[in-house]
A and B are shown apart, each in its own frame.
Chain A
Amino acid sequence: MDVMKKVPVTEQEPKVRATNFEEVCLGYTKEEAMAEASRCLNCKNAQCVKGCPVSINIPAFIAEVKEGNFEAAYQIISQSSALPAVCGRVCPQESQCEGKCIRGIKGEAVSIGKLERFVADWARENGIKPAPAEKKNGHKVAVIGSGPSGLTCAGDLAKLGYDVTIFEALHEAGGVLCYGIPEFRLPKQKVVAKEIENVKSLGVKIETNVVIGKSVTIDELMEEEGFEAVFIGSGAGLPRFMGIPGEQANGVFSANEFLTRNNLMKAFKSEYDTPIREGAKVVVVGGGNVAMDAARTALRLGAEVHIVYRRSEAELPARAEEVHHAKEEGIIFDLLQNPTEIMVDENGWVKGIKIICMELGEPDASGRRSPVEIPGSEYEMEADTVIMSLGTSPNPLISSTTKGLETNRRKCIVAEEETGKTSKEAVYAGGDAVTGAATVILAMGAGKHAAKAIDEYLQGK
């Protein structure tokens, strides 16, 4: 074994997996996990922990894996994370824990994400659950949204003895874990549903089909239903479009719509009623994780898929692993290119897309080199489906119906970074509703900080 290199993980063959929705990565075996764990240097001043938004004691759990003490490893992780089987699959480890790993200076970083996933999967298969609070404290807290931030906040508060109810607008709990991230990256029944069961086993109640701001307001929850504090983890909102001609044509979808139809409504299974457009040639516009998810989904539904992104490969915001997997599966990357118009046939359907080539200019305010159009480089590409994956802007339902809740210029809820405290007493917020679209683990970090702050607030009352 080359100690400089990660123990490789088994994956479904690209050609095979491009035609099914089964999970791409098959995870480590016991032996592989123990071998990989032995690569950890067990640093005293562990940099990896500093890179983790929920500060998992990474060297400690890896030390237990090395010895084969998987249950002990699981208990260490669950002190900090409510969703380890999710994080082990979808966290951008290369820019967090693994990005800081000392092993990574000379060789490859320890495969922390895959080890976390192994431990969580092992615990699930062996029926190990996190331990609930010994004593309830009788205080009621409402959590809005059952995505990563809401589940984390609820789980942490329940462990402290709070009586927590999560309100979810959709018919299924999980938020973006259900409607957004596809089955082949994050299995719904096997992983997401089980992690939600774990949160419930801590005593958390989940009420689905309740749209806060419509079915009931935050003020009503506090004044009429006895909730003493509220955490808002309602996620991102309305999809953004480019504002180019032809964008309202049939066959142009937001990534949110395309993914929701497929993932939440299970359109890819024939026994489900919700239809989806199985294009023949699909163009996905954007370069983030959501764009990769939409592209790989369209591929699995049978299409030829192009990703059109206006910057170069180095600037792709998606995780390196997702880009790598997408390429392996046969997604075509058209980089440094930008759509200028969607061409529409006489019946209102997409028939193609006009694209202009770009080059990178001077760095902009974000420090990234901004793309500039190359004059005269426009060309046309045939396509029957276009999926816009350009991010989202905040949902107005809660901010517009809650008295005294401040929002910023971008209409995101204003909340203190360290505590999630908003401008309204006893109301906290975190995740995409505050930051705009970001990652699962950052939302979990926000949920965790807010749980701590809510506990301090209610204990001090």
Chain B
Amino acid sequence: MYPIVRKEKLADKIYLMDVMAPRVAKSCLPGQFIIVKMDEEGERIPLTICDYDREKGTVTIVFQTVGYSTTRMAEYKEGDSFMDFVGPLGCPSELCEEENLEETRKKKIVFIAGGVGTAPVYPQVKWLKEHGVDVDVIMGSRTKDLLFYVDEMKAVAGNLYVTTDDGSFGFHGVGTAQLEELVNGGNHYDHCVAIGPMIMMKFVCVLTKKLNIPTVVSMNPIMVDGTGMCGACRLVVGDEVKFACVDGPEFDGHLVDFDQAMKRQQQYKTEEGRAMLKLQEGDTHHGGCGHCGGDK
């Protein structure tokens, strides 16, 4: 069992948990992810690693309640335990590998974090700061209430630019607009890392292609085992089929087929909706989910 030693509500529907998982904490690096399974009946849920404490043996995860399983997960409290917690999975971020440091130090780097994508961006920026690399970070959300980790990010970023779509905090507009403004204002970037919803990563890539800035994205497709066995997470990168769990999760954003990746993410939408309905209606559930036959 893997106990939750800290739980915090970071913003509306966004939660943070520190989970005791010494083997994962000992070996994980920024860019990698874990898979959590709540209990016997639970799904295997992949989540990127937001932070880790090798001494305490804890790993920090941040998640947003979007469907049945994440909503159920948000009900877990400090002191509760997850049945399974496995990782680290996937390849570490190339920027955060010691052997690449000399190259990395020469580059002017910008990170763009969208929504809950702030969570996986944070450990990379923190790692780079610890290794003497200051990077610019643009972090955005729909509105002020959904922002989190602003102070934490400020502490590790070179320059931090916060954006909200509705203008309730910081720059009024989306991350790409902020990037365009920075570039137009004379800032030059050699490398961009974009992490967030697929649609946001897609638009960042459209822009950076135009601006000629090489861009890395972190893909979060549907997965089952996460160890290179089931092939659910396959995506087209350039002309090749890649598996996000062993080849990724980071890929050259200019080569990713986002339209197909977004379609693949819809694959279990109906099933997910049914499960959600069952959860919301609880004992009052009398069919409509298409599964139980309660309406027949």
> Which residues from chain A sit less than 8 Å from chain B, CB to CB?
169-171, 179, 208-211, 214-216, 235-239, 241, 247-248, 250-251, 253-254, 256-257, 260-261, 265-266, 270-277, 347-348, 392, 395-397
A216-B27, A348-B264 known; A237 vs B271 contact (CB < 8 Å): no
Main secondary structure, interface of B, reads mixed
B249 at the interface (CB under 8 A from A): no
A272-B41, A273-B43 known; A257 vs B230 contact (CB < 8 Å): yes
Query: Within the assembled complex, what's the spacing in Å between the Cα atoms of A461 and B62?
Result: 49
Q: How far is the CB of A219 from chain B (nearest CB, A)?
A: 12
Q: Which residues of A contact B84 (CB under 8 A)?
A: 171, 208-209
Judging by beta carbons under 8 Å apart, are B246 and A396 in contact? yes
Enumerate B228-272 residues with CB–CB distance to A below 8 Å. 228-232, 234-236, 241, 243, 246, 260, 263-264, 266-268, 271-272
Judging by beta carbons under 8 Å apart, are B291 and A257 in contact? no
A-B contacts, 7 listed (Cβ < 8 Å) = A170-B225, A208-B84, A215-B87, A254-B232, A275-B268, A275-B272, A348-B263
Query: Within the assembled complex, what's the spacing in Å between the Cα atoms of A169 and B228?
Result: 11
Judging by beta carbons under 8 Å apart, are A395 and B229 in contact? yes
Judging by beta carbons under 8 Å apart, are B246 and A397 in contact? yes
The 8 A CB mask of B82-116 against A (1 = contact, 0 = none) is 01111111000000000000000000000000000
Q: How far is the CB of A144 from chain B (nearest CB, A)?
A: 12
Judging by beta carbons under 8 Å apart, are B37 and A171 in contact? yes
Judging by beta carbons under 8 Å apart, are B227 and A215 in contact? no
B288 at the interface (CB under 8 A from A): no
Q: Which residues of A contact B292 (CB under 8 A)?
A: 270
Chain B residue with minimal CB distance to A210? B23
Of the residues B85, B225, B236, contact of A248 by C-beta under 8 Å: B236
B275 at the interface (CB under 8 A from A): yes
Judging by beta carbons under 8 Å apart, are B234 and A248 in contact? yes
A171-B37, A214-B89, A215-B88 known; A250 vs B264 contact (CB < 8 Å): yes
Chain B residue with minimal CB distance to A347? B263
Query: Within the assembled complex, what's the spacing in Å between the Cα atoms of A347 and B86?
Result: 34
Query: Within the assembled complex, what's the spacing in Å between the Cα atoms of A253 and B233?
Result: 10
Judging by beta carbons under 8 Å apart, are A256 and B241 in contact? no
Of the residues A261, A348, A397, contact of B227 by C-beta under 8 Å: A397
New A-B pairs, 17, CB < 8 Å, besides A211-B86, A215-B86, A348-B263 = A169-B86, A209-B85, A214-B89, A216-B26, A238-B229, A239-B231, A250-B267, A251-B267, A256-B230, A273-B41, A273-B69, A274-B43, A275-B275, A277-B267, A348-B260, A396-B228, A397-B227
Chain A residue with minimal CB distance to B227? A169
> Which residues from chain B sit less than 8 Å from chain A, CB to CB?
23-24, 26-27, 32, 37, 41-44, 68-69, 72, 83-89, 224-225, 227-232, 234-236, 241, 243, 246, 260, 263-264, 266-268, 271-272, 275, 291-292
Query: Within the assembled complex, what's the spacing in Å between the Cα atoms of A93 and B175?
Result: 63
Q: Which residues of B contact A236 (CB under 8 A)?
A: 229
Judging by beta carbons under 8 Å apart, are A211 and B89 in contact? yes
Q: How far is the CB of A421 from chain B (nearest CB, A)?
A: 25
Query: Within the assembled complex, what's the spacing in Å between the Cα atoms of A216 and B24?
Result: 9
Judging by beta carbons under 8 Å apart, are A238 and B271 in contact? no
Judging by beta carbons under 8 Å apart, are A215 and B231 in contact? no
Of the residues A171, A257, A277, contact of B231 by C-beta under 8 Å: A257
Judging by beta carbons under 8 Å apart, are B43 and A256 in contact? no
Chain B residue with minimal CB distance to A276? B271
Query: Within the assembled complex, what's the spacing in Å between the Cα atoms of A131 and B28?
Result: 40
Main secondary structure, interface of A, reads loop
Q: Which residues of B contact A276 (CB under 8 A)?
A: 271
A239-B231, A257-B231, A396-B246 known; A265 vs B44 contact (CB < 8 Å): yes
Q: Which residues of A contact B272 (CB under 8 A)?
A: 275
Q: Which residues of A contact B224 (CB under 8 A)?
A: 257, 260-261, 265, 274
Query: Within the assembled complex, what's the spacing in Å between the Cα atoms of A274 and B68?
Result: 10
Chain A residue with minimal CB distance to B90? A214
Judging by beta carbons under 8 Å apart, are B83 and A171 in contact? yes
Judging by beta carbons under 8 Å apart, are B225 and A260 in contact? yes
Of the residues A214, A256, A392, contact of B87 by C-beta under 8 Å: A214
Judging by beta carbons under 8 Å apart, are B230 and A397 in contact? no
Chain B residue with minimal CB distance to A272? B41
Judging by beta carbons under 8 Å apart, are B42 and A273 in contact? yes
Q: Which residues of B contact A270 (CB under 8 A)?
A: 291-292
Query: Within the assembled complex, what's the spacing in Å between the Cα atoms of A397 and B41?
Result: 28
Judging by beta carbons under 8 Å apart, are A256 and B86 in contact? no
Centre residue among A235, A265, A266 by max chain B CB count within 10 A: A265
Judging by beta carbons under 8 Å apart, are A254 and B43 in contact? no
A211-B86, A238-B229 known; A271 vs B41 contact (CB < 8 Å): yes
Q: Which residues of A contact B44 (CB under 8 A)?
A: 171, 265, 274
Query: Within the assembled complex, what's the spacing in Å between the Cα atoms of A393 and B74?
Result: 38
Q: Which residues of A contact B227 (CB under 8 A)?
A: 169-170, 211, 395, 397
Judging by beta carbons under 8 Å apart, are A248 and B264 in contact? yes
Q: How far is the CB of B269 from chain A (nearest CB, A)?
A: 10
Chain B residue with minimal CB distance to A207? B23
8 closest A-B pairs by beta carbon, nearest first, are: A348-B263, A275-B271, A257-B230, A254-B231, A209-B86, A171-B84, A239-B231, A275-B268
Query: Within the assembled complex, what's the spacing in Å between the Cα atoms of A404 and B153?
Result: 41
Q: Which residues of A contact B88 (CB under 8 A)?
A: 214-215
Judging by beta carbons under 8 Å apart, are A238 and B68 in contact? no
Query: Within the assembled complex, what's the spacing in Å between the Cα atoms of A215 and B87?
Result: 6
Q: How far is the CB of B199 from chain A (nearest CB, A)?
A: 15
